[in-house]
């Protein structure tokens, strides 16, 4: 199983655009992909640990290692493809 860490902030416009897309994909990819949301304002330490410079940033983890990083908003189909490449 792969994990997608979604680094976001409540005040971030592109993050708000991505939120329903992430929620949809969480349901569609249930059992294949685990999603974790990290509010960069509330958990600055984790954002620093992953070197997050802008939001939204989606870090894809496979076998405990970062295999990809998506920065910025994407359409649902493109975002899904970028994740599924690692399944």
Write out the catalytic residue numbers. Answer: 12, 15
Contacts of 16 (CB under 8 A, 6+ apart): none
- Residue 60 CA to residue 2 CA, distance in Å, equals 7
The CA-atom distances, in angstroms, between 74 and each of 14, 41, 42, 48, 52 are 9, 22, 24, 23, 17
- Residue 16 CA to residue 9 CA, distance in Å, equals 9
């Amino acid at each position: 199983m792969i994990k997608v860490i979604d680094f976001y902030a409540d005040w971030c416009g592109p993050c708000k655009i991505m939120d329903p897309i992430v929620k949809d994909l969480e349901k569609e990819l249930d059992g294949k992909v685990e999603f974790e949301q990290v509010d960069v304002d509330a958990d600055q330490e984790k954002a620093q640990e992953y070197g997050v410079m802008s939001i939204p940033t989606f870090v894809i983890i496979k076998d405990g290692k970062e295999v990809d990083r998506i920065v910025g908003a994407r359409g649902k189909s493109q975002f899904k493809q970028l994740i599924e490449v690692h399944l």
